Structure 1
Amino acid sequence: MKAPLPANESDRLNALRRLKILDTPLDERFERITRMVCRSLQVPVAAVSLVDEQRQWFKSIQGLPVAETSRDVAFCAHAILGDSMMVVPDARKDPRFADNPLVTGEPGIRFYAGYPLKLSDTIKLGTLCAIGWEPREMPDCDRQLLEDLGKTVESELQALALSHQQSEVIDELNELARQALVDPLTRLWNREGLNRMLHKEWDYAIRKQNSLALAMIDCDGFKQINDRHGHLIGDAYLRQLAGILLSRLRPYDTIGRWGGDEFMVIMPATTADEGLSVMQRLLATIADRTIDTEAGPIQPRVTIGAAAAIPDPGSSAQALLGTADDVLIALKQRAKGTAAVHRV
């Protein structure tokens, strides 16, 4: 059953547009919350879902490799109609969802709980939701937990704080243009988006005479993963690795997929020593993780080459990028699995 529109749909959509959050890259603040929902409620899927005019778009989702679905089949489109949490113990027995293709077919939703995310008393943008493949009841303690985490999402939505340069790039573009700057596989910035960000941060560093650091991250052995297990496993590996990298960066750092199995991290107001500390933290985290795939667990390994500089007027960001790339190439030849930074 398709959900009816809220009475204030026009105001609700205008509020959502003003946030300029749709079709932006993943953000660790929201990723952290959806991971907590999965762990705490022991559900396979959790999402921050924002209900747009024709779709629901996920600012964060754990457990499913999708960025959006049609609004017509969205449980969350029903959840935003109420003021309190919507709980569906068994979707097969609920007349609103019994014939929903997400219930009758893949992925086979049975349990759903969605806390409506409020920008004000009357404006509900979407939900923080938990989804399961088996019917279940939801005790009061779990409801309270999801509500508490939902209120945290509301606070983050009301106080979005990207770096000044990321905000500028997002403000300059409409949703379709933003989509063109986001990598569809990892949902990070793509190469064009990274180039825009790099030049914004470079110009800002020149004005402020701040140090800017840039890191290039290469996945060691990725070709062998693709050759041995196929590209679907390789894609799943890159998606999960992107999430691991994102989780260890600072809120004002920018990360994206430069191409293939290579990532870039732009670190504003960061010296060479500070950049090396960030990279060493990334390496330590990766060393403690395994990536679960349908082919079994895979131990991730990366090599990181970086450069840092206080840019001069008239200088080019491409020089910093070239130096970071040279450092990475040298490490790949003699010291894979390590990190190094060069002061320009």
Structure 2
Amino acid sequence: MKIAPTPEDEAERQRSLDSMGILSTPRDPELDRITRLAERIFKTEMVAISLLDGDRQFLKSRVNLAVSETPRDISFCSHAIMHDAPLVVENAMNDDRFNGNPLVVGAPHIRSYAGVPLSNSEGYKLGTLCIIDSKVRHFSDPEIETLKDLAHWVETVLALRYTERSQKQLLLDLDAAHRDVMIDGLTGVWNRRGLEELLAREMTSSRIKGGSVGVFMLDIDHFKQINDTYGHLIGDKVIQGIAAIMSSSLRDHDIVGRFGGDEFVCVLPGLRLEQTLYLGYKLCDTVRDQCRVSDTNGDTIPITVSVGATWISNESTGLYEPHEVLRIADEALYEAKENGRDTVSYHALDRHGSLDGPK
């Protein structure tokens, strides 16, 4: 028996798995449906969806397996995630990696195994969908292709469960240390790291559900002049005021964060293309009308913002990384500032997001 090596990116892989929040959830009817279907298709004795968590193999869904987890170091799946291709073992007794394995020499007496690695949207291998028998078995090429199709279905369900978690749930799931690195200390909204993680989540959800996402990048006009004239304490109040205005004026499931300095980002799931410019101008109007910060003499300081906007269709989400979407919004923001500030500029990702193209 040979123990599988640990992936070089194990720490990152584990963090990615933890962030999905799928380990501590109840049994999933959709995943159970897939494993039952696999049992019928392959007429196999055992089926499992495994997730490799720390030093254990956790069985998220299983058919005809009595335990919900095993030690990771004896799991077949720990070998499977080391490769992109399916792991196929037709006779474990003749395989040096497994012939002394407790799961082979003892219950459930594994002889044949076929497992397809499961990856998440970040590309990390989480575990496998595997079919197992206590008898020697040959797996045909069409059978392996069918197993790969079912594994893709599992990946889609896991991605959906990940994206369905709300911002509030994400905050509850974060431990204090992790929360501190994702929340902006001055405003209490998401910081750049949190924004990038949540934008990636919404892009994945859009791709799966056929939805869309609007992205706005805002910059406080002449903020350096505000700091130089009134001091940094007043500047901080302006930043806090704008964060509060955006958080209260948008929908509960919209995402507001401070990208850095005097820049903010809003991520709006489900925004229609034709709403994009209207909402951008509404944000400008809302900040101009509601941001009431006074100087030391009690006079209100005029505050405006410039907005760069873009829009992500479900056709676009698989073509762009979150940082590329933010870059395009930032380019639109630069144009808005060049056009006189207190205005909105829109840049399309592609023809699907053209204001003159398909809606």
With normalisation by structure 2, the TM-score equals 0.48
Question: Max radius of gyration: which structure?
Answer: 2
With normalisation by structure 1, the TM-score equals 0.50
